[in-house]
Amino acid sequence: MDILQFEKQSLRLPSAIDEIHDELFEQKHVRVYVKRDDLIHPIISGNKWRKLREYIQIAQFNGHKHVISFGGAYSNHLYALAYAGKELGISTTGIIRGDELTAESNIYLTQMKNWGMELIFINRADYQQKRIPEGFKTSDSLIIAEGGFGNAAITGIKEIVHELCDVAFDHIICTVGTGTTYLGLCDSTSKTIVHGILTLNNLTEIESNATLLNIPIQQLYSSYIFGKYANQPEELIQFCEVFSHKHQLKIEPIYTGKMFYGLYDLIQKDTFKPGSRLLALHTGGVKP
Ligand SMILES: Cc1ncc(COP(=O)(O)O)c(C=O)c1O
């Protein structure tokens, strides 16, 4: 299937924008909207399609028969790639961090295997070097970096801002993993301030990637990491549960939970002028 047909048949694009209400927002005179990229698709949800789209187009256009990428045992990126590969007729390989793992280690890996992704488990030292074992890389393979990081993904992210058309927001808030989404947003708008909530201790890496790609970065916050990637303290879990219930909007503690937690705190601390319109990007991550 080609990409346009797939988008038309299977994806909800452009994604919706919903306003959410809270006493805090009223008290601080700000309006908060959520760009519902989580509703694009149950599996290729959030920023996943945005980041993969251009790579798949490149693969199809250049006749790559195979796409290889990297991720951890619970990688949303590889999960989405495995499914996209199945739907779009591209064979995929996931290089997974941890040679102690197998396709039966969790239901997501099993599902990815069932969708036809070849899973290669490598030790952490090799993974750090992104070393592809001999024999798996061929001349017609397209290699996508971990989390989709790269210019093609940044181009795909820009579509989010195009979808806003002329609706004006003063601030956009997103969560930051590899920083691809954040850099794509920073590169697409100069009128709107883009706030990135870090989920791991990689500020230096993001700053150097921004320099490398010549993208001016805006506001980045390291105060909502809760120690390290994937830490889920009770306070954060509680916040996610209360938020999900109150707004009927599912979030999870690794990415979007940290973002909304940070957003509430920034509003509380009067970061945004009264009258501001804020757009939070829901990047998905709530697996079915
Ligand atoms: C649900 C979710 N949100 C946000 C991110 C972070 O996005 P990025 O890596 O583009 O910073 C990820 C990781 O890719 C993710 O899985």
DSSP structure string for 23-37: HHHHHHT-EEEEE-G
Buried b (16+ CB within 10 A) or exposed e, 16-47: eeeebeeeebeebebbbbbbbbbbbbebbbbb
Strand 141-143's sheet: what is its strand order? 118-122, 91-97, 66-71, 141-143
pLDDT the model gives residue 137 = 66
Protein residue with its CA nearest to atom 14 in ligand 1: 147
Domain 3-43+157-281 has CATH 3.40.50.1100: yes
For the Cβ of 147 lying below 6 angstroms from any atom of ligand 1, the answer is yes
pLDDT value at residue 140: 84
> Could you give the residue range(s) of every CATH 3.40.50.1100 domain in the chain?
3-43+157-281, 65-139
Residue closest by Cα to atom 12 of ligand 1: 177
**Which residues have C-beta within 8 Å of that of residue 236, sequence separation ≥ 6?**
226, 253, 257, 258, 261
CB-ligand 1 contact for 180 (6 Å cutoff)? yes
Mean pLDDT of the chain: 95
**Pair 257, 236: CB distance under 8 Å:** yes
Query: Ligand 1 within 6 A of 75 CB?
Result: no
| Ligand 1 atom closest to the CA of 286, numbered from 1 | 1
Q: Is 71 in the pocket of ligand 1 (CB under 6 A)?
A: no
> Does 76 sit in the ligand 1 pocket, CB within 6 Å?
yes
What's the DSSP call for residue 176? E
CB distance 255 to ligand 1 below 6 Å: yes
Q: How far apart are CA 147 and CA 154, in angstroms?
A: 12
Cα gap 96→122, rounded to integer Å:
6
**From CA 38, how far away is CA 48, in angstroms rounded?**
9
Q: For residue 87, what pLDDT is reported?
A: 96
Closest ligand 1 atom to 175 CA:
4
Per-residue pLDDT reduced to its tens digit, 217-260: 999 999 999 999 999 999 999 999 999 999 999 999 999 999 99
User: Distance, CA 252 to ligand 1 centroid (Å)?
Assistant: 12
Per-residue pLDDT of the chain (288 residues; tens, 9 = 90+): 889 999 999 999 999 999 999 999 999 999 999 999 999 999 999 999 999 999 999 999 998 889 999 999 999 999 999 999 999 999 999 999 999 999 999 999 999 999 999 999 999 999 998 888 877 766 789 999 999 999 999 999 999 999 998 789 999 999 999 999 999 999 998 889 999 999 999 999 999 999 999 999 999 999 999 999 999 999 999 999 999 999 999 999 999 999 999 999 999 999 999 999 999 999 999 877
Q: Write out the H or E segment, with its range, that includes residue 277.
A: strand 277-281
**Structure tokens belonging to residue 5:** 């047909």
| 256 CA: nearest ligand 1 atom | 3
Ligand 1 within 6 A of CB of 188: no
Q: What pLDDT, on a 0 to 100 scale, did the predictor assign at position 132?
A: 84
Q: Does residue 45's CB lie within 6 angstroms of at least one atom of ligand 1?
A: no
184 Cα nearest atom in ligand 1: 10
Distance 227 CA to ligand 1 centre (A): 18
- Say yes or no: domain 65-139 is CATH 1.10.10.10: no
CA distance 66 to 43: 20
pLDDT at 10: 97
End-to-end CA distance of the chain: 24
